[in-house]
Structure 1
């Protein structure tokens, strides 16, 4: 069901190249085989720009969808039911742009788990894209791609661990002497640090502009603009994020990247709330910034302050923008941009088709990026060095953040916005606390309380995978709630059913599992510290894009590099290729598996060799040509496209003695298929819950697994793990015993565990300690 449309139109944080397929068991000639079939796509853009909305809701009477305002409007569109209980409708005439939208089941507002999801409106919110004819500046193109890095720093303002996304241009890794200017760009209210990458497509915009020679190469930093203090009741500005930028973010960036010094080499921009923060920061710290971008906002007092200090701190660029539909904004902005231009400042005011929405802000970013850092490279400007120093956080705070982090928001806030304006008509909203969807109330008793807002619902249930469904009851205001006891330690996926329909809780941690967006809960394992966030040197998680020879599509892989990677530029590293299971994808090991936390802590303790870890999506369905019915063509793709890309991009030790592959479930099966077929590539392998195959109707590995001499030629380690509660435990155990009895030294790993992330984290913890050691 994958479309041929540009992948920028379908990507979302939970799945870069969504497959909209699901696995099923096929019985044929008395045999059972795992295969894939097309599944529902919640929102599909048709070739003629119509949009088809679909939701599986057999128990519902009505399903509707509506925009949140702006270019799509708020009118509800009623979908039509088919005989199988799927509600669907194809709609013409939706305006081009990025569209957040809500779904309504029997009138109850919900989030569709099989439609694209991003972080917006203070939670997981569905969206779709309709491209404007002839506009492709934000598309994924065949140009050199910059590196998107997820970095970790500590805020001294609210004493939280924070993540920022950092874009480095394509030349950054190959030009070790070059220094780059930096753009700091902020999100809007209700959004977070993920917005400019996943909603704004910032990295693709910069890639394309740089390739076309239309903008200077630059580093771009995207942070979460929330710095709430305990018991604080802020108006509009969420805490003193300006102090966090200057005391923590800029020092962190300038201590870890090759940045050009001086205010001429530093820009600040933002959208909506972020535009107000950007204006405030530049006014407050004029010695740091000479370029300002204001997208869909206007702050009169701070702008006057910048103008009043122009002689001492001359601005080089002031650029203000908005949507044509944002009434009165262009006129207010132009009053100021005319004054700046009269002083010789580049920029001006521009308006774009749309309202207060992402397609306006993308165009704003593109035009701003073309304006800033122009002219001759000025190099360093005599500015003093910034020093980054972390304050020490409590173990309790680090644990809280470990159990709360997820792909849509690393340091979640559970807030709503009370919209208001001040006496001058400026935004002056206040923030109200909301419930987290799942709150652990008693670790010893395995108790957790679940919450969801479901105004008007008849029934609401929480479905904890492996435990069953639990009825929720009406609680305060529009909230439903229940407490569940006896939840075992570890990681638990759970779903929500509203009037019997599967939905996603927008206010709880979310991942991709079971071929859909799914919520999850962490019940702390008190005796397992290695996967928790600790203040050790942190590695970097990279988002890298490369073409697949098998499918002709672009792949996204997540790559972990240890903390030493940037600090020791001559050093080369071994590589582990680590795969997810069926129903999950490339993001799983980072966010559900906590791979980066594990690696950081084990390396800091001297219990793991420093290595690069590559996490790829295990689905590769060629449009033409055969592929394995349950494992796709991924093993061929990894060899033909994935490994060459990594060896050409990173400082790897590119030989089999320094290359490993491992995976869980389907990833464990793919590992076996790949490492046995390519002894020239791998000497280390790990099979987590993927069974141990000696011989079956499809393959025969007995000449390796039952021959000690042949095994010794191929492997330094074959690690085989299976949980004692898994259905495949007995067969795996029997095959392990057969192989060991033949004198082949595989390393079994077992323990009390199900087919879940709790067990796979323990597998990784043991396996990583063994890799690449003599």
Structure 2
């Protein structure tokens, strides 16, 4: 039977739906769809940060741009503008949604038309960061102002600087939550600019249907795709449903995608991007004679959870599954709302009849992650996990098994010792403590003296970080057992500084002199104490220093100012050293045996360098100056402990290779 133009087709399945008419498959996003897989044919796009001048806002603004695999300036591409939610910024999708990985996997399976994706900041105001009261009237208004910024500033910038097709048929817009409302408002309000429009869990900023679509006939004639999706457990579900009901009433072609058991979170939004992106910029008729397609899928996690390595003995949670999802459970019979807070995302837990709350996260990167539970608004540690010091507090942590976890595993090899050393600091006029790792042979060969690595932690952490979270002692034990590193002592002290409140937003940060106290403590107290209490080789050539994040920044300041103290320098996600730094401190290049700089690949993709310019370019430039440099990239990790574990594993074998007695 030939379908008439006005015939409405509703397809509802719990697992997945196949739209036979257009041969488009709307499905539950498959396990691992947002994870990198071992595949020789893997196609990988690129994420860059751009800065454009906004006449609308009166300042420069930032956005991320994803270019597809095999991107060429000799080709022209359609563009999707992908918007964030009310609590996010241009990094929200990238940090929490893995859009680049979702798209890479789809390109690998040849399911996408090549496209450029722009991830802007939808809060169009001079201070556009998601800080303070995010629901304040001026910030809400800034989301509306973004329409002008998008149309008059950002789109022209993209079209001037990227090889894009500039007609409306090759331009799309979509977003999550607040960004979903923006996408529907802006897309349907500018039908001569956008032909492809999607709203994922659109927020209350979405205009009422009569205002959103005053002329249904115009939408039918001008729009190629209209997508509305939401989780059925989302408190904002009615907004998407009222839009769908109006579209259906007026027989406006669209997809209405309902995610069973879906909430207001990235599980739903990633599913939306996964399906919506596969429909974009296709030449085929997506609706088959202008039919309305209603689909329903579910998001399910693999049920292969095991007890985490960081779960307390005798406890059953936290658990981790093969996708990297973290599952927690807690008894709180009188609580009204319990959430798992991990990776800057809160996931709702579900309460059973016994008052037991259980829930899980989306897949996390491999390695260690801080997390906490939020019970009726109060953030508390999970009583089932071991505790770790991070974010300036003792709290919960979970280790997601990594493919390369053997290098920091506890093995049947000779083990060194970790000793707690209390000492008096003249600089601070108080007793401090540090932890000292001595290699397995230290207590046996009493005539031997050893080089020393001073290993610094990151902001919000302390002297326990490198052993508890970083597993530095096991990394060294395994390297020494495999004859991959020379034995040396490691000293881990507390580099925390008491910062002042940032009153001047235009001033430098951290403020000048912020590292001075720890530098003086290290030079005047810690090093003399270690040289007195341990069998060290107390000279510059047998002394190394390295640190992660804030500790890397401290390492930079300390070594540039004191090149006669350290011969080996390591900076893990902590900036880099530039040619200008060397010009200002010429002794550094003459006295340093090695400069090691490392980052997680995701940090480089998003250009979160901390300071000092491009670290790879800086490090390569210093190599041309004659400095022995090494630049390492931890694959598929961000600003997190797995990057720094791997960095230490790569750095340690390079140390003290020459007899410098």
Answer with 1 or 2: which has the greater Rg: 2
Between structures 1 and 2, the one with greater helix share: 2
Provide the TM-score with structure 1 as the length reference: 0.42
